[in-house]
Amino acid sequence: MKERVTLTLETELLEQVDKRIDGIKVKNRSHAVELMLYKALGKNKPILGLILAGGKGTRLKPITHEIPKPLVPLQGKPIIEYTMELFKKFGIKDVLLSIGYKGDKIKDYYGNGKRHDLNIIYLEEDKPLGTGGPLKLAKQYLTDTFVMCNADELKSIDLEEMYYFHKKNNAVVTIALTTVKDPSAYGVARLEGSKILEFIEKPKKEDAPSNLINSGLYIMEPEVLKYLPENQETVSIEKDVFPRLAQAGKLYGYPFSGQWFDTGTLERYEKAIAEWKGL
């Protein structure tokens, strides 16, 4: 709920507020002041990150015969390191790392995270739990708004602006949506305004409801745990959770224009090596 207030500001200060208005991310004075207050009060971003790093990376064989996919090098760093850097850029130092295949190598590399200016807690999957299963493992830690993402994608995104969008819409889950020229290889979002109604899986290009796809990064409320199937150990967040949230009107999409690369296949991995420009 919002309330209207009247502010009296010095002309010089008001000029500084107006400089932040771009008509896209910051739409007007009221929006600019609200964003500045969020930042000043420290309520402008999630404080916890959950990274899904348990996959086998079968489409990157033979590289992943020896190396877990999150540690596969890209421009001199492990792929997962770019997600760590994104988190640190926005002040997220507490990280839950869900590991499975060759997880010991990830633990050996990162340890408790101190060497990388992080605090890492490992969630160990004895068997693959899907993209939603780690939420159950993390349940005791999920007491406030958090960000969850895949370890094998590269994203340049403003988490503060996405957090503001998420809170403004009172969403349980907000999905970062990226634009692709041909969405036929992905799940494509059908939206009503900012609300996600459903994902259409791998439609023909001409039948796609939009060019917006799931980028593999989400801001979530602890309430998401209520939408997990109770008697199901392996959970697909895309198939088992998002449709229930969409039906409840609690699933939103945040389109962003920053870089995004999927490194899931050898071809896409090579493209990311050549084109990724960093954060």
**Catalytic residue positions, numbered:** 202
**Amino acid sitting at position 86:** L
What CA–CA distance (Å, rounded) separates 188 from 203? Answer: 8
Q: Around Cβ 106, how many Cβ atoms within 10 Å?
A: 26
Structure letter (DSSP) for residue 20: T
Q: Give DSSP secondary structure letters for 27-39.
A: -SHHHHHHHHHHH
Tell me: cis bond preceding 62? Omega within 30 of 0 counts. Answer: yes
Residues 6+ apart with CB under 8 A from 217: 147, 148, 149, 150, 153, 155, 157, 175, 176
Q: How far is CA 270 from CA 59, 140, 277, in A?
A: 13, 38, 14
Closest CA to 120 of 151, 152, 75, 158: 151
Q: Give DSSP secondary structure letters for 142-176.
A: -SS-EEEEETTEEE---HHHHHHHHHHTT-SEEEE
What CA–CA distance (Å, rounded) separates 183 from 203? Answer: 7
Structure letter (DSSP) for residue 241: I
